[in-house]
Amino acid sequence: MKLSYREKIGLLVVIVLVVIIVFIAWPIKTIRTNIKNDTAKREAVQQQYDETKRLIAQIPSIEANINSVYDKTVVLSDKFSAHMENIEFAKYFETLLNKEPYKKSGKNALEITGGLQISDAATGEVPFYYYTPNVITYPILEAADTNGNLMETTDPVLYEKVENAFKVSELESQTVEVRTVSIPMKFTKEALLALEDELKKNETGVRISSVTIADYTFAYVTEIPEDKGYSEGNVTFTFYTMQKIQKPDFSK
């Protein structure tokens, strides 16, 4: 069958259109789709890169914050006693009691008269101490507190005390190492009180937890002049020890 010239031209146009669609238009559409997908991936990668860059930029400030917290823990842990072996306790009390405040007429006003009874190490809970103000008129303030800041505006000092008490009450008790040392001693009342004051002042995590006194009059009536002002008894010291925290190493 012969095709007319017009039919040949029409067939040629169809063939050209098919070629354009198959070999040009379709690949272009596929390429455009790929470009669109790649653009979305690039934007996602760029966002991830920007976020990573932002986090990297924060590293110096994060390190500074961590070091600041570490420095605070060092100050806090210094208020606790260092871990000691049994033989070190004897040296500790020898050094502690051989001081001028515990001397009387050339002899010790605090004297160890027997062996030290040292407990095994155990864990103990140390709660945070806080003071809660007793606000007698609080129900009246609460009823009149429309905006939630009446106490803060009327009595800022009292408000700060109440706020601090609430914050500290939310803190959990801390677990530390606890050991007790019971010592039979001969002492004057003044020397014993001075020792307690020194332990509190030093803030080293050592406290007198109990005292038994054989003669509460401290030999007020005695036939031996050297014993006047003294009593024998047993003094129990409690040592609170906190584990030292390692200094952060940012090189790893």
Rounded to the nearest 5°, which phi and psi values hold at 22?
-75, -45
Tens of pLDDT, residues 143-161: 666 776 766 677 777 777 7
Beta bridge partners of 181: 118, 237
Average pLDDT over residues 132-146: 67
Could you tell me the pLDDT band of residue 184, with boundaries at 50, 70 and 90? very high
For the chain, strand residue ranges (E) read: 103-104, 107-108, 110-112, 117-118, 122-126, 174-188, 206-213, 230-241
Please tell me the distance from the alpha carbon of residue 15 to that of residue 7, in angstroms, as a whole number.
12
Please tell me the distance from the alpha carbon of residue 84 to that of residue 86, in angstroms, as a whole number.
7
**Residue 233, pLDDT score:** 93
Tens of pLDDT, residues 218-245: 887 877 877 788 899 999 999 988 877 7
**Residue 221, pLDDT score:** 80
**Residue 21, pLDDT score:** 65
Looking at domain 81-127+173-244, its CATH class is alpha beta
Beta bridge partners of 230: 188
pLDDT surpasses 60 at 104: no
**Residue 243, pLDDT score:** 76
Tens of pLDDT, residues 56-81: 887 788 888 888 888 887 777 777 88
**Residue 109, pLDDT score:** 81
**Residue 118, pLDDT score:** 92
Could you tell me the pLDDT band of residue 117, with boundaries at 50, 70 and 90? very high
Could you tell me the pLDDT band of residue 119, with boundaries at 50, 70 and 90? very high
Average pLDDT over residues 179-192: 90
CA angle 201, 203, 204 (to 5 degrees): 130
pLDDT greater at residue 25 or residue 242: 242
Tens of pLDDT, residues 80-103: 888 888 888 888 888 887 766 565
Average pLDDT over residues 166-187: 82
pLDDT surpasses 70 at 8: no
Please tell me the distance from the alpha carbon of residue 238 to that of residue 129, in angstroms, as a whole number.
18
The region, left, alpha or beta by phi > 0 then psi within -120 to 50, assigned to residue 29 is alpha
pLDDT surpasses 90 at 142: no
- Positive or negative, the Cα torsion across 49, 52, 53, 54? positive
